[in-house]
Chain A
C-alpha cells in the first residue's frame, strides 16, 4: 500500500456535540490519529460562584439536555452532602425511578435513532421510517413511554422541576404511579421485540477488543445507578468524596474538554463499565439477556457498550416495575423537603446513561456557592476513545477510506458521547 488516506471527520455526526476525528495513513502507516473536542466551553463551574443553593441544580441541569435528570440528581446529592441533609426512603426510591426513566429514554434514543442506521447502513433513522417502519414505530413508542415516565416523576423530560434539595416539590399520585406500572408491564412485549431486533443486528458490530480499566458506581445489593462507592475493574473501591483521586483530570491542547485517567493511561465509563462491574447484580431478565448475547465481565469490546445499553433497558424496566410496587405500598403524599442551610463542602455521584457523574460544591453560610467542580462521563471517556481509536485504526487501516471513516464514526458513537456536556 502506498496510498495516502486522509480522514477528517469534522464533526462526527449522530452524537451529541462537536467532536472531530483526524486520521492520516501514509504507505500503510498510521501517521496521525486524534480525537478532538472543539465544543465551546460554557464555564459552568465558574458561573455557579455566588449562586444560591436552591438554584444550583436548576443551573447545572443545563449542562446536558439528554442527561439533565442525572445532572439534577447529582447536583442535589452534592448540595445535600455539603449541608448534611438526609432524604427519606420514599425520595430515594422515587429518584431511582426517575433515573431509570432517563436511562431508558437515553438508551432507546441512542440505540434506536443513532446506532441502528449504522447496522443497516443508512445515514439516519429517516429512511428507516419507510424501510423498517414497524421497528421505528416500536422505538418511538418505547421512547415516548420513557419520556412520559420522566415527565410524571420529574415534572418534565428535559430540565426537570420536581426534584429539589431535600426531596420533591411535587409528588405523583398513587393512581398515576400505578398507571405507570401497568404501562411498563404491558410494554414488555415491545421491549422483547426491540431486544430481538437489536440482537439480530448485533453481529454487525465490529469485533474489536482492547484491554482497559472500567469505572463506575458499585453497591452491595443493587445494580448501582443512584448510589454506591466508586469501583474499578482493576480493583479498588473509593467513597464518592475521594473521586478526585480516581478521575485525575488533565488538559490536552486539542480538546476544550478535560481528559481523565486512573491506574492506566485511560479508562471507560458507561453501560459497559457498569455491566463489567455489576453484572451479578443485574435483575433476572436482564441477566438472561446478557447471557444470551455472551456479554460477560470483563468484556473489552467498546462496541458492546451498545449491547450493554440494551441489557440495561431490560434491567431498568424490571427495576422500575418493582420500585413502583414498593412505593405504592407505603406512600406519603404530604412529605415535604426539610432544608437547613449551612456552610460546607460535599460531593455527589450518580450513574447517568453515559457513565459515572460527579458534582462537588462548596457553600458559604448564606448558602451561596464558593467553589464547584463537575466531572462528566464523556470527559472521562475521551482518553479511552483516543486509545481505542489508535488501536482500532491500526487494525482497519488497509480498508478503503470510506469504510475506515464509517468504522471510526461507529466507534465514537458506541460511547454515546455527550460532547457539549463533557466540555460544559
Chain B
C-alpha cells in the first residue's frame, strides 16, 4: 500500500504549531517515515497538490485567502485544523471587537486602505473541517496520538471535559484559591492543565467544551472580583468566536 500523502499549510498565525511538530525531535523522524510529506513550505522546497491529509494552521483574515483554503479543501481527503488560530480563531479574533477601520489605521496610518483584512475566523467558518487539534500551541503528544489514529483510519479521542479535571489529576492548587482567575472550568481538556502547572492560569486556548456552563463561569469570575467588562475580555481572549462570548 502506498504511504498516505500529507501536506502542511498555514494562514494568519505564528507557525508555532508546525514548529511543535518539528519539535517532536526523534519522533519526527518516525512521523516522516510513516508518510510522504508532499508540501511543507516552512521545512521543504517543492510542492504537490496531490495529497490525502492536509494540516492547516492559522485563521482566515482576508477574503483573498479563501480561494487557497478552498483549493486545499478540494484536494484533501481529510482536512485537519491545528492550533487555536485554526480551530477557534485564537488571539487573531481580538481585533474583531474593535472597529476594523480604526484597527487598520492604528497600524498602517493613512495608507490603511492598502491593507486588506476582515473579521478573523477559524478554518471551519470557511470550509468543512474533519478534525481539530486544539491548543496554543498544540500539544506534541496529542498531535502524535491524533496522527497515529488518522493513519489507522480511526477518529482520535479529543477530550470533551473541562481542564479542571486534568488540573485535579495533576494535583495543582486551584488558582482561584491563589487569588487568580481561570478559564479552566469551561475549557476543553487535553493539555494536562499545563499552564496552571507552570504557575499561570488557564487562558482558554483549547476552546470551550461542547456545552460549557458559561453562566456558572461568569458567576464564579464575578464572585472573585472581575467586572462585567473584564469577564467579557477573558471570554474573548481565545474564544471570541463562540456565541457565548459575543
Interface contact tally, CB-CB below 8 A: 170
**C-alpha gap A256/B107 in the complex (Å):** 11
Smallest Cβ distance from B21 to chain A, in angstroms?
11
- Give the contact stretch, choosing among A50-58, A197-205, A343-351: A50-58
Q: Is there a chain A Cβ closer than 8 Å to B87's Cβ? A: no
Q: Is A143 an interface residue (CB 8 A)?
A: yes
Nearest chain-A residue to B102 (Cβ)?
A46
How far apart are the CA atoms of A416 and B91 in the complex, in Å?
A: 25
The residues of B that contact A120 with a CB separation of less than 8 Å are none
Q: Is the CB of B44 within 8 A of A11?
A: no
> B94 an interface residue at 8 Å Cβ cutoff?
yes
The answer, yes or no, to whether A16 is at the interface (CB within 8 Å) is: yes
How many B residues touch A, CB cutoff 8 Å?
60
**Closest B residue to A129 using CB positions:** B29
Residues of the B chain whose Cβ atoms lie less than 8 Å from the Cβ of A158: 16, 19-20, 23, 137
Known: A109-B22, A129-B32, A161-B195. A47 touches B16 (CB 8 A): no
Quick one: closest B residue to A157, CB to CB? B23
* Partner of B15 from A65, A114, A256 at Cβ < 8 Å: A65
- A108-140 toward B: CB 8 Å interface, digit per residue (1/0)? 010001100100000111100100000011001
In the complex, A159 Cα to B11 Cα: how many Å?
19
Residue A63 interfacial (CB < 8 Å) = yes
Q: Mark B12-49, 1 if CB is under 8 A from A, else 0.
A: 11111111101101101100100001001111111000
User: B30 to chain A: closest CB distance in Å?
Assistant: 11
Q: Judging by beta carbons under 8 Å apart, are B237 and A49 in contact? A: no
Instruction: Say yes or no: is B239 at the interface (Cβ < 8 Å to chain A).
Output: no
Give the interface segment out of B72-80, B152-160, B161-169, B198-206. Answer: B198-206
- Residues of B within 8 Å of A160, CB to CB, are 198
State whether B25 touches A47 (Cβ < 8 A): no
Task: Contact check, B195 vs A62: say whether CB atoms are below 8 A apart.
Answer: no
Cα-based distance from A17 to B109 in the complex (angstroms): 24
Query: What are the residues of chain B within 8 A of A251 when measuring CB–CB?
Result: 108-109, 111, 114
Q: CB distance B199 to A62 under 8 Å?
A: no
B62 A161 Cβ-Cβ under 8 A = no
Does A301 belong to the interface (CB within 8 Å)?
Answer: no
A338 to chain B, nearest CB (A): 14
Q: Are A169 and B199 in contact (CB under 8 A)?
A: yes
Residue A73 CB within 8 A of the other chain: no
User: Which residue in A16, A58, A117, A123 is a CB contact (below 8 Å) of B203?
Assistant: A58
Could you tell me if B199 and A42 are in contact, using CB atoms closer than 8 angstroms?
no
Smallest CB separation, A253 vs chain B (Å): 6
Minimal Cβ-Cβ distance residue in B for A372: B106
B43–A124 CB distance below 8 A: yes
For A51, give the chain B residue with the smallest CB separation. B233
Query: Which of B13, B20, B136 is A420 in contact with, Cβ under 8 Å?
Result: B13
Contact check, A16 vs B15: say whether CB atoms are below 8 A apart.
Answer: yes
Partner of B46 from A59, A64, A123, A170 at Cβ < 8 Å: A123
B42 partner, pick from A14, A49, A170, beta carbons under 8 A: A14
Asked whether, in the complex, the Cβ of B26 is within 8 Å of the Cβ of A47, the reply is: no
Residues of B within 8 Å of A156, CB to CB, are 194, 198
User: Is the beta-carbon distance between A143 and B115 smaller than 8 angstroms?
Assistant: no
A325 adjacent to chain B (CB < 8 Å): no
**Assembly CA distance A188 to B136 (angstroms):** 33
Alpha-carbon separation in the docked complex, A164 to B180 (Å): 14
Q: Which of A14, A47, A409 contacts B43 (CB 8 A)?
A: A14
Q: Mark A137-178, 1 if CB is under 8 A from B, else 0.
A: 100100110010000000111111110100011100000000
Whole-angstrom CA separation of A256 from B115 in the bound complex = 7
Interface hits, B216-246 → A, CB 8 Å: 230, 233, 237
Q: Can you identify 14 A-B contacts, CB atoms within 8 angstroms?
A: A14-B45, A45-B106, A46-B106, A47-B91, A47-B94, A62-B136, A64-B16, A109-B22, A124-B40, A129-B29, A129-B32, A158-B16, A159-B16, A164-B200
Interface residues of B (CB under 8 A from A): 10-20, 22-23, 25-26, 28-29, 32, 37, 40-46, 58, 61-62, 65, 90-92, 94-95, 98, 102-104, 106-109, 111, 114-115, 117, 120, 136-137, 194-195, 197-200, 203, 230, 233, 237
Task: Give me the 4 closest cross-chain CB pairs, A-B, nearest first.
Answer: A65-B16, A169-B199, A124-B44, A155-B198
Given A15-B42, A42-B95, A124-B46, 6 extra CB contacts under 8 A: A16-B15, A45-B106, A51-B233, A65-B19, A157-B23, A158-B23
